[in-house]
């Protein structure tokens, strides 16, 4: 009987050694993808206001937010990654995996900046300004 106890002690040490190795292993993946953020605004600006009688000084331009506009984020391969609608302040936002995207809204008759290509990095925010520009 005395001889079996040292054997049990050796086995216990071996099991403890195995469990300490597994505790240093990388924890299992949660399945979540790291993300970045695209934040932007969509506005309309115009040149001098034609009727500024009685106003002093005469306003030099006009600025308006474009609310309820659809903004689309497209991957490089042309597939749509996400869509959103601008809020009452003309603001939009997307959480997307790192990568290169085109952020756009429907082209209108007025000149302007209706799309932008952005590269999103893990944990970073990219700011985008889309704008209709009237003469």
Q: What are the C-alpha distances in Å from 95 to residues 34, 42, 46, 60, 114?
A: 10, 18, 31, 36, 20
pLDDT value of position 54: 56
**Which residue ranges make up each domain of the chain?**
36-134
* CA–CA gap between residue 124 and residue 10 (Å, rounded): 52
pLDDT per residue of the chain (135 residues) written in tens, 0 to 9? 444 444 433 333 333 333 333 333 333 333 456 799 999 999 988 765 556 555 655 556 677 889 999 999 999 999 999 999 999 999 999 999 999 999 999 988 888 889 999 999 999 999 999 998 876
Would you call 92 helix, strand, or coil by DSSP?
A: strand
Structure tokens at 101: 């995207």
pLDDT value of position 53: 56
pLDDT value of position 86: 96
Protein fold of 36-134? Immunoglobulin-like (2.60.40)
Q: How many helices (H) and strands (E) does the chain have?
A: 1, 9
Which backbone phi and psi does 20 adopt, to 5 degrees?
A: -70, -30
Note the pTM of the prediction, 2 decimals: 0.66
Residue (of 130, 124, 112) closest to 38 by Cα position: 124
Q: Are 64 and 98 in contact (CB under 8 A)?
A: no
């Amino acid at each position: 009987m005395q001889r079996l106890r040292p054997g049990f002690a050796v086995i216990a040490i071996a099991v403890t050694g195995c469990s300490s190795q597994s505790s240093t292993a990388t924890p299992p993946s949660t399945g979540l993808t790291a993300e970045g953020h695209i934040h932007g605004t969509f506005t309309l600006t115009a040149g001098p206001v034609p009727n500024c009688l009685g106003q002093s000084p005469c306003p030099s331009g006009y600025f308006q937010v474009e609310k309820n506009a659809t903004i689309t984020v497209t991957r490089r391969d042309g597939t749509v990654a996400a869509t959103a609608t601008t809020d009452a302040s003309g603001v939009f936002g997307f959480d997307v995996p790192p990568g290169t995207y085109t952020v756009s809204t429907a082209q209108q008759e007025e000149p302007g900046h209706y799309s932008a290509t952005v590269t999103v990095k893990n944990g970073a925010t990219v700011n985008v300004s889309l704008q209709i520009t009237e003469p």
